[in-house]
Structure 1
């Protein structure tokens, strides 16, 4: 979608309308063609750019409706040679490295009850983890406390898992030594054969 906006830059032209302090108002005229490629229609859009706050606003309101920076804003940023925009103009849903507040969403491909149990446990822990991480990120002192507690908790969980895995190995060995169950063969029973 962003690539489509950038491709459409070649149909835009801009002119300065007015400048009031740090706020500049531009008029971006976009030429829109019909399906056949003929009869281009010029549509003007006003773009407000505040240089001191690095805020921008366009009349088309694409950012407000869909969360994408529109071609008109991109055109103004190119013209003013602005290479860095505020993080609020790149929403989390468009990022690749976003951390979601939820872990497991069930889908139709998950058949195993083991996977369901893991997701249920993760969903139960996630709200608590979010609260702890928010509190821990307030200042450096809180961060050190949370880091220390997490390291201790991790070590305790690793010890518990090691004990459970050792018990599981012993039970697997004991189960593997049993003789197989007697299964009746197909066909006529052997005692009635001649």
Structure 2
């Protein structure tokens, strides 16, 4: 049956009540129903900020952070060890210097920078979820190590280091959470 605008109507073909369009589908019942002009109703609460722009922002922050760490570590391992993060010099509080280790860690961070940039440019659940899960394993271990090795750090440096490392644990979770689900409309593309 067509409505006055010429659109096909489902009215009468579905059971009354339940979710959107008169269905009894419990999965559909939790989704926003039609909004103004037949579009999707605006999201409310935390769902209002859950969109592709937030996911991309978190991924770009991770890409930049990884590059900021990886490029100097891979290219100038001694300077990285002596001075990173410029100008606070936290790494040299955990001696001894090992050029091989610092260069390898720099390569690891550079590789993640490339992947995070790629995911920010072409976000998909298939890329973002395993990327963020992998990063989170390393980030949690990194945070735990540094949280248990604060000897020699001043209070401001210890707080700054732990805050920064905790942010690197939180950002992947934000990126995954903010990705629209497979059945959700994509906003901010």
- With the shorter chain as reference, the TM-score category is under 0.3
More strand by share: 1
TM-score of the aligned structures, taking structure 2 as reference length:
0.25
Name the one with the larger helix percent. 2
Choose between structure 1 and 2 for higher RCO, CA contacts under 8 A separated by at least 6 residues. 2
Compute the TM-score of the two structures, normalised by the length of structure 1.
0.25
